[in-house]
Each structure stands twice: as C-alpha cells, then as structure tokens.
Structure 1
Amino acid sequence: MREWGSWLRISARPASWSSLDFLRRTPTLRPRGKPLNNPIRAAVRPNAAAPRTNQSQGQQSRDTTRPVRDSRDERESRDPRPAKVTRDGRPVRERDSRDGRGAGQGRPAGGNREQRAPREQREQRPAVERSSVPTVVPEGLTFADFAIPTTVIRELSSQGIESPFPIQVASLPDTLKGRDVLGRGRTGSGKTLAFSLPVVTRLSQSDTRRAARRPRALVLCPTRELANQINATMEPLAKALGLNTTTIFGGVAQSRQVSALNAGVDIVIACPGRLEDLLNQRVLSLDGIEITVLDEADHMADLGFLPGVKRIMDKTPTRGQRLLFSATLDNGVDQLVKRYLSNPVSHSVDSAESPVSNMTHHIFAVRDADAKKDVVQQLASGTGRRVLFTRTKHQAKKLAKQLTAQGIPSVDLHGNLGQGARERNLEAFSNGSVRVLVATDIAARGIHVDEIELVVHVDPPAEHKAYLHRSGRTARAGSEGVVVTVMLPEQRSDVKDLTRKAKITAQPQSVAPGDAAITSLVGDVAEYVRPADITPPQTQARRGTPSRNGGTRATRTAAPAKSAGPTAQRAQGGRGQSTQGGEGGAGAQARRRGGRGRAQRGGGSATVYSSSSY
C-alpha cells in the first residue's frame, strides 16, 4: 500500500518512480521535463549518455541525447545466424531493387510479378492520332478512288450519291484498313455513310459467314428512329454484297427480331435496351462480332445508356474493329474511347459547339402567348417542309391538332407514340403528305429528311447543345436552312444565355403576326387543306354480355377519323329503341353467350366504344 500511495503522489515525489518496476517501462508516466532514470535500461545500454543539466537555471533539462543505433553491417557482423537467400540467390536482408512491395509493378502484395515487364520496358499506349478533316473535298474525288467494291459504288450512284463528304474522305482510308476510328462532327455531316461503307466492305472480304444467333457486325444507336434511318442507309449497300441487316429496338414485339436472329444475320442495328434483354435471354451471342460501331455516343450518354453500352461492349471480342462517332466527348464518352478503342485515329469535322455557316438564325420576340400562337401558325403555313420543336409531348400533340384544324396538315412525333404511329407519321412527312412535323427532342438527332427549309423553336430548349441538334435538321449536307426561335418576354434571359453558349450572333427582334419579317421567311403560303370530313361510325363485331331481353348490352363501333384519342360515348336508349349488336358489320344480329339473339326492344342504356384512326 505504501508503494501504491507513492505512485499516486507521483507528481509531488518524482523519486517514487523506483518503487514499481513495471512502471519503469511506461514512458508515458514520466513527469514532463524529467528524465527517466531507469537502472535496467542503463544496464542494457551502458554507453547511453547521462542527462545534461542546466546549471544556470538550477534544474534538470530534457534529455535530448539518444543512443546511437548500430549500423546494419555491425548488426549483421554480430548475428550468428546464417544468411538466408531467395530463390534467385539474393540475400533476404538486401532491399529489393525493383519497384513496389515485391509483388509487381503498381500492384499490392501477393501479385504475380512475372506477368508484367518492368515499367521502363513496357510498351506505352500512344496518344490518339488526330487528323484535320478538309472542309472542301478535292475536285473530281469519287468513291471509286477508295477500296470500295464496284457493286456498292453502283448502288450509291443509283441513289444519286457520287462524291464523298469531308468526314468520309478523311476516315475511309483508315476504316477500310481495319483501324479503330473516332469520328467527331455535327449531325448531317455524313457520318452514317462513313461507317456503313467500311462495315459492308470488310464483312464481304471476311472469311467468316453468317450463322444463327451470331451476328458479325453491331451498330449501337440511341433511338428507334435513328436505328431505322441507319438501316435505310446500310441495307441497300449490304444487299449489293449479299449481306443482310436487321434492327433491334423496343416498343415492338420481339418475335420478328428473334426470328431474324435465328435465321442468321450479318449486321445488327440495335438500341442498347432491347439488345440487352435479348442477350439476357440468350437469344444471340456477340462473340462473333468483327466490327462494332457506336453512333451518337454522346446522345446515348445523355439518355443514360452508357452502363448498358459498356456491358454490351464487354461481350464483344477485343480483337475486332471499333468505330465511335459522336458530336462531343463529354458525359463519359471519352472514357469509352480510352477503354474500348485501341490506338484510334481521330477525324473531326466542324465542331458540334459552333453553328453551321450556311444556317440563318432569327429570334422573334412576341408580346404574349396569343401572339405566339399566331406567329407559329404563320411560320408553319409555308409550302416547304418544316419542323416545329416543343418541350413537352403534350404541347407537340396539341399543336399538331391545332395546325391541322387550321388547314395545315401536321403530324406529331414524341415518346408517347407507339412504333407504328411513329413510322406512319415520319413516312407521311417524308413523302410530302404533310408538310409540318411537330416534335420533341426525340427528333433532334439522327432523323434525316431531305429539304427541310425551316426549323422553329416553339419552346426554346433547356441547353445550347439541344439548340444546335434541333437546328441541325436543316442545312444538312451543304444545303441552306433557316432557324427561328420564338421568345416570350419572360424567356429573354434564358434565350440570351442559350445563344451565347451556342455562339449565335442573332439579336432578338420584336414581331407581331403579319409582320414583313415573318412573311419574308414563310414565302409562298400553301393552300388551305380542309380537315377530313367526319364519316358515320361503323359497327364492329364484339362479344358482349347479353341483356335480359336478348342482344348485347354494349356494342363496339369504329368512330370516324378524328385527331383525338380513343373516347367512350354513352348513348341513352329510350322506350321503343333497339340496341344493335354488331357481327362483321352494321345490321348484323347480336351474339349472346348461348347463341344468336335478335335485336330486342327495351329501355336502358347502351355504351358505345369508339376508336380513333389518328
């Protein structure tokens, strides 16, 4: 107890440190500024210097003298144990001269150092080779000057395509040789043909042949419309060389796509979502892919498809050729280039961040929403093709109805439409049945319709990239075009920031319906087209629940063509009226569960279902 009491009074009696031996090994209990006079340590290290004293202050100072450690050679000379050596004959005590922790270059301990060469002997990955694309194609240059099959050249000539575009002139020598290529350029620069020609040419020269569920080339794109557009360009070229193509995307039944894969296909043009579904179902395999193309990679990144694209690319052979075409390299597209392209050559046309030189921009500032409606209607009344962009699907559908009702035939294009409706509307716009396409940003990329003379931003886009891609529907392939942005007073600051980032120098111009600034852009006004007359509804066969008095309680009718969606109309039946059931047309007797029943008299109500043909 006396020793413990001395320990508790340690701050007042430093001499009590010698009372307990185990405390001598605890330097943290040493009083601040006092050396630890440990006779045991002094015996172990007899050459340790004694603590110095400060005579002027009359007190003992901190011990700043440390015992000098023996060198490694002195310790090894006293070590009686034999020296150990490694497998390659080096002593264990020698420091490994190689980098790292003895586990390999840049790897944690436990790695296999024999798999990789030393860092200085490793082959460094070269930087992306860059080439400037000439803006003017040399005079007299044709596709015959490249190593392209004659049958393909004849097919191009039959379509009126004789001279290549700048991006094609720059990239074809490398793509036809099998090199990986990064192509950058705005929409309408000819990128589709730039990768279609090497794909069909190299597949025709390959020794492999098509097999069931094992395509030989893959083209990934972000939207169904773009997939159909690429297929329309590539399919004639492939047929000229005995190859076939197919498209894979969502929104339609997959039975046709599965049947095409089972029969064997050379080129698959797909959207990432449906393609991943079929891969998970093991409907196809990508181990036979020789050429992979990523088109509009930046748009796929904007839509959130990059994780799926990476999973798909990981399933393709690394030895194959890979081509990536994109307007920009942001949002992770640069990571795709670094990860999947081997020693690529980069060819860039006009920057996607700058406007086209042969495109004229106008900003019309209107007073209010009513004036905006009249100005948009006047801009849509011309004789040529024009595309009107809105921000929402609802506005696109509503505006198309309003224009059609005003005698301007219009169709809409947005995400709520099924694939069949999309194709019908695009076909009507392409063949000239209608002159106006009202669309959301779904049509801002990859939709190529010739001779679009005017693009109208009914609703200004949220960012400048969308503005440039929307505007890119006109002034394609060297032609001229006009772009108009309709601006409300509260949108002035947003439009100013938008045009600044897009490098548009046009200044806002206050206009009213009928002003000369509008009529000069519209030109000749198209003739008024009367909306389709409403035709009487036709009954359609339907099994209904029989009523008490016979017949059916409800009949299904095909309503006249209207712009509205499906509606349900309730017809109130009075005494003495009959409810007609339809079977194969009007006047047919109603069918009831037990057999046929005649049309009966009676009161009550009948629900009539109508469907729209729009």
Structure 2
Amino acid sequence: MTSDRLNSNQTAETSSGKAELKRYRRKELDEEEERSRLALVNDDEEYEEYVPLAKRKHMEAQKYRELVGRAGSVSADEEDRGDEEKAENRPKESLLVAAVRMRKDQPEATEEQKQLEEEADILKHVLQKQALKAVKELAQDVKYTKSLDTGWKAPLKYRLMPEEQRQKTRDTFRIVIDGDLVPPPIPTFQEMKMPSAVLRVLEGKGIKKPTPIQIQGLPVALSGRDMIGIAFTGSGKTLVFTLPMVLIALQEEIRMPLIRNEGPVGLIICPSRELARQTFDIAEQYCKALQQDGYPEMRIMLCIGGVDPKQNYEMLRQGVHMVVATPGRLKDLLHKKRMNLDICRYLCLDEADRMVDGGFEEEVRDVMSFFKGQRQTLMFSATMPAKIKAFAESALVDPIEVNVGRAGAANLDVIQEVEYVKEEAKLGYLLECLQKTAPPVLVFAENKSDVDTVHEFLLVKGVDAVAVHGDKDQSDREAAIQAFKNGEKDVLVATDVASKGLDFPDIQHVINYDMPSEIENYVHRIGRTGRCGKTGVATTFINTRFTNETILLDLKHLLKEAKQRVPHFLLALDDPLEEMEKLAAASGVKGCAICGGLGHRATQCPKLQAENKQATMKNRDYFGGGGFGGEM
C-alpha cells in the first residue's frame, strides 16, 4: 500500500510539469572524464612553442643557406624552379634593409648626375604653379581647345607659300618659332592689311619696315592665336600687342556698337605705372588716327594707381573699348563692380616675367576670375625663363612661341663697357662718363637712397637732372619722365622702375651706377638704349667687394655672348666653364633655367635664393622669438 502511494506521488509530480531528476551511474561518469582528458591532450598537441624573433631569423637563414648549397647541384633545366623555391623560402626583410641593399647595388652617381637631379628637383617645385585660369573654369574643369577666330587672313601668296620658304624667311631674321599651324611671316605692314591711318602713324614715327618680332608676331596676334613673345629690349614688342587690340576693338564696334556701362573688349596689364602710361599713349595715337579717317570713335582708358579714380568711373559709364592698367587699380575697379570683363576677348600681359616676379601673380589670377568666356591671351617679355613659360602655358590655348634671339640675351646694338670703380670715387667718375655722349642720359641705381644722392649731386654740379623712384608721388614721376622725353632735362636718375619697357628712342647712353642684384635687371637697363636699330652705349660701375660673384660670372658670359670686351677683373674670376658646358650638353639648357643667367646653374641661382630668403622672413615669428624652442 505504501509503494502504491509513492508511485502515485511520482506520477503526479511528473504530470504537474516538474523536471525529473537525472540519475548517473559510475560508468557514465568515468566516460565523461575520459572525454575531457582527451580534449586537453589534443589541445596540447596543437600548441606551438613561442620562438623568439632572433631565433626565427636564424632558422630562416639556415634554411636559405641549405637551399643555396643544394642549388649548385641542380641541373640547368631545374634552375627556374629552383629560383622560385628560393624566392618562396628567402627570409623576409624590412623596407629599410631593402632600401640600403638597393643603394649598395646601384652604381654611385657622378657629380654631374647629382647636379642634374638636384636641378630637376628644384624646377619641379618652382614650376608647380596653379593654372592661370578663372576660378569657375578650374572648378568646372573647363578646357578650350580651339583658338579664337578674328577673321583676319594673310594674303593669298603667303598662305600658298611652301613651309620651306617660310622657314627661310624666319632664318634670315633669326626668328625661332614653336607651335602648330604657325601663320606665315610677312615682311611689310601693307601686306598685313593695315588700315591707311595706321600706316600713316607708323610713317610719321619713321617706322617703314617691321622688326623681326613684328614680322612674325603681328600675323600670329592678328589671326587670333595665343602667343608667347620673346625678344630683346627695343625690338618693337609694344606694337605687336597694341595694334591687334585696337583693330579687334574696332571690329567689335563696327559689328555692334558699345552701350553705357559696357566694355572693355581689350585689356593690357603692365607691371609699372610709367609703362602703362606709355602703352596708353601709343594706343591712343592709333585710335585718333582711325577716327580722323572716318572710323567710329574708340575710347581707351588708363587705369593706374596714384590718380583720382573718378575719371575712370565717368569713362566706364560711357562704355570703354580698351583698358591699359596696372594690377592693383584694375583689381580694385573689378571688386567694386565699377567695371566688368563680360565681353573682354583680348588680354595681354606686358613684361610678364617682371610682373610675376614683382609679386603681382595673385593679382593677375584674381583678374582672370572675372572673365566670362574664352579670350585671346598674349604674354611678352625680353626675358622668359622656364618658370614664366610654365606659368604662361597654363592659360594659353594652343600657343605659339615667337623668339628672336636667346631669352635674356643683351641687345647686340648696345656697346657694353664695364669698369671697376671704388665706392668713394663713383660720383666723381659719373661726371666724366656724362661727357662720353650727348644728352639725354639715363642713370640707374639699385636703391632709392642712391637715386636721391646722385640726383642731388648732379643738381649741385649744374646738371639738369630729374629723379624717379617708387616713393615719389605719381604726378612727380610723370612730370619727370615727360620733361626728360621732351628734352627739357638732360639726365634721368631712376631705380629699376624705369627699366621695364619704357621707350626713350633718343637715348645714346645708359649708366649703371651699380650692378643690379639680378642679371635680368641688367639686360632690361641697358635695353633703354640702342633701340629700333640705333647704336647705344652702356657703362656699368663694378665694385667686386659689394657684388655677388655669381652675378659677375653671369655678366662675364653675357659680354662674351655679345662679343663685347671683357675686363681683366672679370677674366680673373674662377669660372667652372668645362663643368657648365657638360651640364648644358646633358640637360639641353644653357645656364640657369630660372633666371636665364649664363654663369651659374639653377642650384646656385641668386634669384631663387633671394625668393626663399624673403619667404622665410615672411614666416618668421617676430613676437614669439622664433616659435617653440626659438631664442628669446
């Protein structure tokens, strides 16, 4: 009865849902322990003992030596397979070890190769310039593939002329071109289809035949092609870009006359106010002559700093066809929305290298952002090193380079005289040099203080002299230059502000009171004489104690190139001529690719060193003593 009651209770508990207790026998427990023990044994067998890094490298090297030892007995048929096995079993090496091994395996570079590699690295960084394009064009990746069409065509006989005959004409005038589908050179203004009014102005100036840069440059510009023009100073470059602008503006005025607040059609940007004034006067002469012959009136505006901008505002309200400007004032008018470049289709940068090196590069880029469409772009200078060419080619569409003589070469019509003069004897010797030729005479000095000193000295000695430099008022600068051009004053003393493109046709003598810090400035200075085929004299005072030896070597090679007399103190300079010739032959670049100097390479360029020094000065922390860790 008791057992029946227990069985009934167990059945009730099971039916009520409670878990039934599991009962184990001893045999089952023993089997479970055995399985756990076997699992631990298997884990121990799979465990790998840790081997230190040094021991692993030693073991891998030992395997590699064994493979190399066996490779000697491998037959020729099995060599390829053996190499693969070696590569698989070769010990791994770090990147640093691999780099050291590669340097050891490579033959040691010669000094010449090291120099060329260093130059290539310098040029790579110097030429990394942002494209000279509008911001929207850069953002939208706008690319122009075709040049603008002006409608001008060369006469039929020149279009049918064989390329061999065209090249013969270029060789006669020492014209070097680079580009595709270059228009033919035309040796007369009449055959260029110039209006009679233009021919009359040229004849009144005594210009009967075009110069070499005009023979090839004018057809290129008139046909609407983008252009890089390089020619020595005094070769007539201003006419090459001024006449096409006037004729393009005239064409647009005839097609559709300008209305109020419209224009300009053409724009010329110059680095200095004096050069902008001179270019404006030349263009205005042709506009007035064309109006006299019955053509529509064309308004040209001078846009420079130092003058009241109200005159510009009034003219802009009437509508202007052409503008000649300096970058600062032009940028100001554009940002104030007094002027726009919506219909501008012609842009010229005169003395482009001087403008970029003079710190106007960002201003020019800013001006480019106001263009609404494609434009014909021209860049001109007497010196156009590789840096400026890269800057130019970023903006030009299918450009043509017209080069008359080496870029940076001196005018062959100038007799260059270089004389050693002590610092304390300069003023006295200057009076003697003024007796060499009849006035007018142009005297250049590097510093503004020297200009004032020389000017005062000449006035005390009874010489009719005027002075020009950047610290003088614009009205005083213009009055001085005008008095000098009109023959009212005999001597003009100036800094390099007067060396950039200014035309003084009657000057027979240029005196460099000191040697400039860059050979490019020397070329521009002496180019103020010997213009338009006339012969001139340039006298330069040298004091070797105050002049960089690199500049003296550049001057020495420049004199040799122009077949001028080289003074004995320049001949005595230590000149690595053979090394320079080897580098020129290996690189294809004669002299410095940055500044065009013939006496040094890009690695010793004083111009680049000065730019780097100036950039370092700008980044200096004047208030914190040089920043963290600097001297207090």
Q: TM-score, normalised by structure 1?
A: 0.60
> Is the 8 Å Cα contact of residues 301 and 331 (structure 1) preserved in structure 2?
no
> Is the 8 Å Cα contact of residues 133 and 166 (structure 1) preserved in structure 2?
no
Cα deviations across residues 108-147 of structure 1 (Å, max 9, x unaligned)? xxxxxxx99xxxxx99999xx9985752799994311112
d(CA) in 2 for partners of 1:209, 1:414:
41
The correspondence for 1:377, drawn from 426, 431, 451, is 431
| Local SS of the residue matching 2:394 | helix
d(CA) in 1 for partners of 2:394, 2:493:
39
| Local SS of the residue matching 1:461 | coil
> Is the 8 Å Cα contact of residues 455 and 474 (structure 1) preserved in structure 2?
yes
Q: Which residue matches 1:403?
A: 458
Q: Which residue matches 1:158?
A: 204
Instruction: Tell me, yes or no, if structure 1 residue 214 matches structure 2 residue 273.
Output: no
Cα deviations across residues 349-390 of structure 1 (Å, max 9, x unaligned)? 122322222211112223x33322211122124532111111
Q: Which residue matches 1:295?
A: 350
Instruction: Tell me, yes or no, if structure 1 residue 251 matches structure 2 residue 306.
Output: yes
Cα deviations across residues 287-343 of structure 1 (Å, max 9, x unaligned)? 110211111110101101112112212322442222221233337422332222111
d(CA) in 2 for partners of 1:147, 1:290:
21
d(CA) in 1 for partners of 2:174, 2:506:
22
**Identity, % of aligned positions:** 32
d(CA) in 1 for partners of 2:376, 2:312:
25
d(CA) in 2 for partners of 1:471, 1:406:
25
Q: 1:150 to 1:295 in 2, by over 3 A?
A: same
Q: Which residue matches 1:232?
A: 281
Partner letter of residue 208 of structure 1?
A: M
Q: 1:415 to 1:33 in 2, by over 3 A?
A: closer
Of structures 1 and 2, the one with the larger relative CO (CA 8 A, separation 6+) is 2
Cα deviations across residues 584-610 of structure 1 (Å, max 9, x unaligned)? xxxxxxxxxxxxxxxxxxxxxxxxxxx
Q: Which residue matches 2:50?
A: 31
Cα deviations across residues 504-525 of structure 1 (Å, max 9, x unaligned)? 4533379xxxxxxxxxxxxxxx
Q: Which residue matches 1:530?
A: none
Instruction: Tell me, yes or no, if structure 1 residue 198 matches structure 2 residue 250.
Output: no
Q: 1:465 to 1:348 in 2, by over 3 A?
A: same
Spell out structure 1 runs of 4+ moving beyond 6 A: 122-126, 136-140
Q: Which residue matches 1:506?
A: 565
Cα deviations across residues 53-101 of structure 1 (Å, max 9, x unaligned)? x9xxxxxxxxx99xxxxxxxxxxxxxxxxxxxxxxxxxxxxxxxxxxxx
Deviation of 1:272 (Å): 0.9
Q: Which residue matches 1:496?
A: 552
Q: 1:485 to 1:509 in 2, by over 3 A?
A: farther
Deviation of 1:286 (Å): 0.6
d(CA) in 2 for partners of 1:139, 1:331:
26
d(CA) in 1 for partners of 2:385, 2:424:
39
Deviation of 1:208 (Å): 3.5
CA RMSD in angstroms comes to 3.4
Deviation of 1:223 (Å): 0.6
Partner letter of residue 212 of structure 2?
A: P
d(CA) in 2 for partners of 1:312, 1:151:
33
> Is the 8 Å Cα contact of residues 155 and 237 (structure 1) preserved in structure 2?
yes
| Local SS of the residue matching 1:452 | coil
Q: 1:433 to 1:411 in 2, by over 3 A?
A: same
Q: 1:133 to 1:451 in 2, by over 3 A?
A: farther
| Local SS of the residue matching 2:194 | coil
| Local SS of the residue matching 1:397 | helix
Partner letter of residue 524 of structure 2?
A: H
Instruction: Tell me, yes or no, if structure 1 residue 135 matches structure 2 residue 184.
Output: no
| Local SS of the residue matching 2:359 | coil
Task: Choose between structure 1 and 2: higher helix proportion.
Answer: 2
| Local SS of the residue matching 2:477 | helix
Q: Which residue matches 2:577?
A: none
Task: Choose between structure 1 and 2: higher strand proportion.
Answer: 1
Q: Which residue matches 2:318?
A: 263
Matches within 5 A, 1:268-347: 268-330=323-385, 332-347=387-402
d(CA) in 2 for partners of 1:501, 1:466:
15
Deviation of 1:404 (Å): 1.2
Deviation of 1:501 (Å): 4.9
Cα deviations across residues 394-419 of structure 1 (Å, max 9, x unaligned)? 11012111101101111111001111
Using the TM superposition, name which of 144-153 and 427-436 deviates more.
144-153
Matches within 5 A, 1:517-596: none
Q: 1:277 to 1:499 in 2, by over 3 A?
A: same
| Local SS of the residue matching 1:388 | strand
Partner letter of residue 508 of structure 1?
A: P
Q: 1:491 to 1:169 in 2, by over 3 A?
A: same
Partner letter of residue 427 of structure 2?
A: K
d(CA) in 2 for partners of 1:221, 1:17:
88
> Is the 8 Å Cα contact of residues 464 and 489 (structure 2) preserved in structure 1?
yes
d(CA) in 2 for partners of 1:16, 1:468:
92
